[in-house]
Amino acid sequence: MDMHGTQAILIRKLGLPRKVYNEWLYHESTAWEQQEGLLKQKIMMYFEKHRQQIGAGKMNIYLEHGESIDLRCSFKRVKRLMSVIKLKCHSRIKRHHRIKQVLRDNMLSQDFNQVTHPNQVWLSGSTEAVYGG
């Protein structure tokens, strides 16, 4: 098998048959592949429009109600396409910044006559009320 040129050298180095290379080179996309390409573009547009905070469920709703796309797509298809183009929802998790309070020992033991100056000891009480589920 005598092949000449840069193409032939590259094909030989990659270890590919020439037929595989030519099929890839002269491949015509099918209707399904064209739909997938259009859906990928729309998914990227909506994903950037919503500041990367939209998942596959909401994305599916936007694609179904969009004016520019007249084809139906399922949730699984949208999820698969988002994983193919490596898009992941970056929604922020709400954090409750609560400071844990440390309980102190009962230093006065209800003997309030130890105080000699004003503002030497301050006291407070707390009650915990459980509500809800």
Distance CA 60, CA 76 (A): 9
Residue numbers of the chain with a pLDDT score lower than 50: 1
pLDDT of residue 1: 47
Give me the DSSP letters along 32-87: HHHHHHHHHHHHHHHHHHTTT---HHHHHHHHHH-SS--S---HHHHHHHHHHTT-
pLDDT of residue 133: 64
The overall average pLDDT reported for the chain is 83
Domain-wise residue ranges, the chain: 6-84
pLDDT of residue 3: 58
Residues whose CB falls within 8 Å of the CB of residue 121, separated by 6 or more in sequence, listed in order:
108, 112, 114, 115
